[in-house]
Structure formats: C-alpha cells, structure tokens
Structure 1
Amino acid sequence: MVTSNFTQVIDPEFSFYASMGFDVGALIGNLILAYFAQNGHANEGNDRKEYKLWILKTIEETWNLFYKKFTTLWDEHNDGPGEAYLPEIYNNTEIHLLAKHKYMEDLFHDSLGFAAEKMTRRIVGVAHVEDFESIAEPEKRANCELQALTFAKLLLKERRRFKSIGEVVSAIQQPKS
C-alpha cells in the first residue's frame, strides 16, 4: 500500500521472484479446492454437479490457454535479447521443438507442485479458504478437506506421472478411499 507520504508492506513473503509455475499453479490449486468443497455445499435442490464440471473445464482451459499463449509468444519473440537458449537452438527446428517441449513439461510439473502446496497451505495453514470455511457441518467440511488433502498429496508426490492437464482432471474425479 503506497501513498505519497507512506509505504506499508503487507504479506512480504509473497513478494518474491519464483518459478513461473507458481502463479498458474496457485490458480489451478484454488480451483481444485473449490471442486472438492462442492460436496459440502450440495443439497437436495442443488447437487452442484454442473458447477463441478464447470470447475474441471476451467482447470483444463486455464492450463491449455496458458500453454498456447506462452508457446505462441515464445515462437514470436525467439530472436530477442535475453533468451535462455543459444541462437543455434532456435535455428534448428528439431532441437527447438525438443527444448520447448522439455521446458513446458517441466513448467507443467512445477505448476502441479505449486497447486498441491497451495491446496495444503489453504487447508492446514492459517489462511483458509471460504469454500471450506462456509460448510456449516463440521463432518462434511472435514470430509471435503480430507479429499482435497489426499489429492494434494497425490499431486505433489506423483506430479511427474501426469502428461497432460486432462489426466489431472481425470484424477480429480476418481473416488478416493
């Protein structure tokens, strides 16, 4: 918060330079939390199934749009200063495609890891999410949180096995025991 006479930093731990996967992972993590909270808000008149499907679609579209936009910009601006790769990589189509694929694969897995960390922090940390906090029945809330934490654990430990966001969305929908 800044005025002409005063500057106040709030939550300075969030003002850092991090992996690119942090922001997109945080968004995906929050969407996954919203998905798992829906059963706690469901009732006879509204089973929340359509909303849950919308959340899953949004998760998939978020990553896919980010991927498309990022790689398009990469290709459009591959001759600018400050590139991470030598010009020889850009001049060789096969190597360029391999480098881009590897970078995006690593970025995808980083994003999934940050999503899992965000989910865990928002459940067991101090800064909870209203999605769960507004579930009136403690048992329902606990069950929803457990499902989300179970998925976060899977996502964190096994994120590298996922090859696409579609696989992640399918895993979200699998019943947990």
Structure 2
Amino acid sequence: MWSYAGSLSRFCERAQALIHGDLHTGSVMDTPNSTQVIDPEFAFYRPMGFDIGAFVGNLILAFFAQDGHAHEGNDRKEYKEWIWRTIEETWTLFQQKFTALWHQHKDGSGEAYLAEIYNKPELQQLVQEKFMKDLFHDTLGFGAAKMIRIVGVAHVEDFESIKDDSKRAACERQALELAKLLLEERRNFQAITEVV
C-alpha cells in the first residue's frame, strides 16, 4: 500500500528532474506543428512521475466526467475512447522518448549509471527496465493522488460543470474508485494498456 507518509517522503526526497508541478490538460497548448507547456510557476525539482502522473490523472478524471455531460444524441463514447487512447499514447511516447534520450546520452557526464560499473549491455538494460517500471508505478501513484483531490479543496471543472448533482456524484464516485485502485495496487500494473 502506498501510505501518505511514504508518498510524502518519496515526493520530498526524490529530486529526479525539474518538473512543471501543476501539469494538466489546461497547461498544454498543442498545434499540428508544436506543443508548448504553459504556467510553470510551480516548477521545482521532484520525482518525474509527479508530472506525468498528474497529466494522466487529469485525463482519467475527464474520462469519468463524460457520463455526466452525455445527453440524447451525444453519448460521449467516441470522446471517451479518444481519452483512453491519449492516456496510452502519452505514457508510451514518454517512455519511448525518455529511453531514446537515455541511450543517446548514456556516456554523458551526468549519467547516474556509469559504464565503468554497468559495463554490460544486458546489465544496463536491466537497470533501465527497473527504473522505467519504478517510474511507471510512481506515475500511477501520483496520478491517483491527484485524482483524489476532487473530494478536497481543489475542484475539477470537468465535474464542477455537471449540473445534475446525482450525476456528478456518480461520476466522481467512479473516478475515486479507480484512483483508490491505482493508489493501492499500482505495482500490480505492468503496462499502461492494463490501466486503460
């Protein structure tokens, strides 16, 4: 189980990268030719899984809110399918790009896994797989924690804009159930396709 104390410790002690700190779909500006991330006022050094988890968690919340916005003539099914594809593509492309950069810069001066120590390709591959698995599990844990905020002071517009209180509550309940599952069972997931 991912305890509050354990996750707080992980968040405070893992300064893996400069992260955005508040990454969600409203922070990403996308055109056919470029993608930009805005509002970096919360940027600081923390675990890499926090940002990607926050983004994935935000997409999952959007998915669960769709039933509250559905109406006759628009069941939101296609949009929900697009959200799931986007979640899968987000993690898959992140993982591919990250590992490609890792291979490209493996002999750089900032490399944590020095060639003198990890001098066998098989050993380097195992280290990379372990790192990415841990990063994936952090992503699920931090994403779930961000999803749980809908019951706190930080509200989510996807849910807030559902006019019918009973529909909104049903949508929020489903999102919280998945968040709880991801938080408690995150290490049982081996791939983003299992989450989707």
Normalised by the length of structure 1, the TM-score is: 0.85
- Higher relative CO (CA 8 A, sep ≥ 6), structure 1 or 2? 1
Q: How does 1:30-49 map to 2 (within 5 A)?
A: 30-49=58-77
Deviates more, 1:77-86 or 1:155-164: 77-86
Indicate the structure with greater strand content: 2
Please tell me whether the aligned partners of residues 28 and 59 of structure 1 are also in contact (alpha carbons under 8 angstroms).
yes
4+ runs deviating over 2 angstroms: 88-91
Match among 131, 134, 138 for residue 165 of structure 2: 138
Aligned to 1:22: 50
**CA 1:156–1:27: 2 relative to 1, 3 Å:** same
Which consecutive residues of structure 1, in runs of 5 or more, have no partner in the other structure?
Answer: 1-11, 170-177
Q: Whose Rg is larger? A: 1
Aligned to 1:57: 85
Please tell me whether the aligned partners of residues 78 and 90 of structure 1 are also in contact (alpha carbons under 8 angstroms).
no
Please tell me whether the aligned partners of residues 107 and 114 of structure 2 are also in contact (alpha carbons under 8 angstroms).
no
Which consecutive residues of structure 2, in runs of 5 or more, have no partner in the other structure?
Answer: 1-40
Please tell me whether the aligned partners of residues 59 and 83 of structure 2 are also in contact (alpha carbons under 8 angstroms).
yes
Q: Write out per-residue CA displacement over residues 80-110 of structure 1, whole angstroms, 9 at most, x where no aligned residue.
A: 1121112235531110000000000000000
Q: Distance in 2 between matches of 1:89 and 1:38?
A: 50
Aligned to 1:172: none
Aligned to 1:175: none
Normalised by the length of structure 2, the TM-score is: 0.77
- The letter of the residue matching 1:75 is H
Match among 117, 134, 138 for residue 106 of structure 1: 134
CA shift for structure 1 position 45 = 1.0
- The letter of the residue matching 1:126 is V
